[in-house]
């Protein structure tokens, strides 16, 4: 098989890139190691920046988003006793939309056949070849048969553990990483949210987050040591802890219910640079990971593929080599700003092992400054709703 762009990975990044290229008549094929049901079973966050919702509208994939998405005009920081509301709409003129990543993926997946976007699921042993040449290829097995795709470019949208980044020689890039000394224990439940906006809480017992997926489905988190076992947290214990950490106002609105899903997620900040090597481009989690604090992961993937589609369209339509050459620097400029915001919000709202009275006093002072400073709230709001592309 021959194509213009071989896209590795059928998550939001891969699907978005495929749709953007097909909208311009550029041939591409998406290769995914898992089955469609598995792809849709990945439960992830879903706070979408306006740049991401604008992209879905540009593709004409906004019908369910507009019908079911919850537009949020702000969010809250809690310091154990009070809620500090950041009014993003008043401060920036922008909002975010709560719409689950699973639903974004479903919309992209459902629209693929009618738009001529070919997706090969259940691809085994995916391997990239000749990425330093002008004629790279991808091999894999499908239904027990060896397959090969010859392409002009390969887009690695296959996540942190995929084969794309590993195909780049160690000499050709660098990894920058911080692994955090705790994880987020999350519970998903079919209960109404305790508040109509997200709450990030810094309590003496640790961090907590109250978020929502819909008016009838809620997602809550607390931070725990990475050595913790989910089995030690029956539902009642977790609800009790959430009520304490989120504070009395949020606890008063909390509805308890059985967990649909419960797990512990490791937190890390990670960047691989550059995001291009030869004919291979990286996008989304294949190139970078942010802590979930601030909900930047999916939105960064969307901005990556916006830049990458612009570059690839320029090359195929106008033989524009400058756009291809500039992709990595353009994407990384936004990546590092989002890494900074996610890291700083994580540092502000969590108690780190080894922190003493000084570090705690700095958190208290920062939260009090934010509570009483329009300038501080504006800076947070600008980053939260998404920096310009």
pLDDT attached to residue 81 = 77
Rounded to a whole number of angstroms, the CA Rg of the chain reads 21
Q: Residue 214 has which token pair?
A: 């819909």
Q: Using one digit for the tens of pLDDT, what is the confidence trace for 286-301?
A: 999 999 999 999 999 9
Q: What are phi and psi of 217, to 5 degrees?
A: -135, 130
Answer left, alpha or beta for residue 18, where phi above 0 means left and psi between -120 and 50 means alpha: alpha
pLDDT attached to residue 82 = 86
pTM over 0.75: yes
pLDDT attached to residue 43 = 65
Distance CA 182, CA 185 (A): 9
Which residues, at least 6 apart from 276, have a Cβ–Cβ distance to it below 8 Å?
282, 324, 327, 328
- Using CB atoms within 10 A of its CB, is residue 232 exposed (0-12), middle (13-18) or buried (19+)? exposed
Q: At what angle do helices 297-318 and 50-58 cross, to 10 degrees?
A: 40
Q: Residue 284 has which token pair?
A: 């989304």
pLDDT attached to residue 275 = 98
> What's the 3-state SS for the chain?
CEEEEEEECCCHHHHHHHHHHHHCCCCEEEECCCCHHHHHCCCCCCEECHHHHHHHHHCCCCHHHHHHCEEECCEEEECCCCEEEECHHHHHCCCEEECCHHHHHHHHHHHCHHHCCEEECCCEEEEEECCCCCCCEEEEEECCEEEEEEEEEEEECCCCCCHHHHCCCHHHCEEEEEEEEEEEEEEEECCCCCCCCCEEEEECCEEEEEEEEECCEEEEEEEECCCCCHHHCCHHHHHHHHHHHHCHHHHHCCCCCCEEEEEEEEEEEEEEECCEECCEEECHHHCEECCCCCCCHHHHHHHHHHHHHHHHHHHHHHCCHHHHHHHHHHHHHHHHHHHHHHHHHHHHHCCCCCCCHHHHHHHHHHHHHHHHCHHHHHHHHHHHHCCCC
Distance CA 271, CA 289 (A): 7
Distance CA 131, CA 152 (A): 10
330-368 core/surface letters (b: 16 or more CB in 10 A; e: else): bbbebbeebbebbbebbbbbbbeeeeeeeeeeebeebbe
> In terms of DSSP bridges, do strands 28-31 and 2-8 run parallel, antiparallel, or are they unpaired?
parallel
* pLDDT < 50 regions, the chain: none
Q: Using one digit for the tens of pLDDT, what is the confidence trace for 353-362?
A: 999 999 999 9
pLDDT attached to residue 80 = 78
User: Which one, of 101, 17, 59, lies nearest residue 307 by Cα?
Assistant: 17
Cα-based angle 143, 149, 155 (whole degrees, multiple of 5)? 110
* Domains of the chain and any CATH numbers: 2-45+100-177+268-346 (3.50.50.60)
């Amino acid at each position: 098989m021959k194509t213009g762009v071989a896209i590795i990975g059928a998550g939001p990044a891969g699907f978005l890139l495929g749709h953007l290229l097909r909208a311009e008549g550029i041939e591409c094929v998406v290769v995914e190691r898992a089955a469609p049901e598995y792809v849709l079973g990945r439960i992830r966050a879903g706070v979408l920046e306006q740049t991401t919702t604008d992209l879905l509208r540009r593709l004409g994939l906004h019908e369910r988003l507009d019908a079911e998405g919850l537009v949020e005009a702000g969010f809250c920081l809690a310091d154990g006793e009070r809620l500090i509301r950041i009014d993003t709409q008043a401060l920036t003129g922008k909002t975010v939309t709560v719409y689950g990543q699973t639903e974004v993926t479903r919309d992209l997946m459902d629209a693929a056949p009618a738009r001529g976007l070919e997706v090969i699921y259940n691809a085994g042993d995916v391997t990239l070849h000749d990425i330093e040449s002008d004629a790279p290829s991808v091999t894999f097995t499908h239904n027990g048969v060896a397959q090969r795709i010859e392409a002009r470019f390969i887009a690695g949208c296959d996540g942190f553990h995929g084969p794309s980044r590993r195909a780049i020689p160690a000499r050709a890039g660098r990894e920058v990483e911080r692994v955090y000394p705790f994880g987020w224990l999350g519970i998903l439940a079919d209960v109404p949210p305790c508040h109509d906006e997200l709450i990030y809480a810094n309590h003496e017992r640790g961090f907590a987050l109250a978020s929502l997926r819909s008016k009838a489905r809620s997602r809550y988190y607390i931070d725990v040591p990475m050595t913790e076992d989910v089995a030690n947290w029956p539902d009642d214990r977790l609800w009790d802890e959430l009520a304490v950490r989120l504070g009395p106002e949020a606890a008063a609105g909390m509805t308890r219910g059985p967990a649909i899903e419960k797990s512990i997620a490791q937190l890390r900040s990670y960047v691989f640079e550059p995001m291009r090597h030869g004919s291979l481009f990286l996008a989304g989690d294949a190139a970078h990971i942010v802590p979930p604090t601030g909900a930047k992961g999916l939105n960064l993937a969307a901005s990556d593929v916006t830049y990458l589609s612009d570059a690839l369209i320029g090359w195929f339509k106008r033989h524009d080599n400058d756009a291809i050459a500039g992709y990595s620097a353009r994407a990384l400029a936004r990546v590092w700003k989002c890494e900074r915001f996610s890291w700083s919000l994580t540092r502000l709202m969590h108690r780190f092992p080894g922190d003493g009275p000084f570090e705690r006093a700095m958190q208290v002072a920062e939260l009090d400054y934010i509570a009483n400073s329009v300038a501080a709230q504006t800076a947070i709001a600008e980053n939260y709703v998404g920096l310009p592309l």
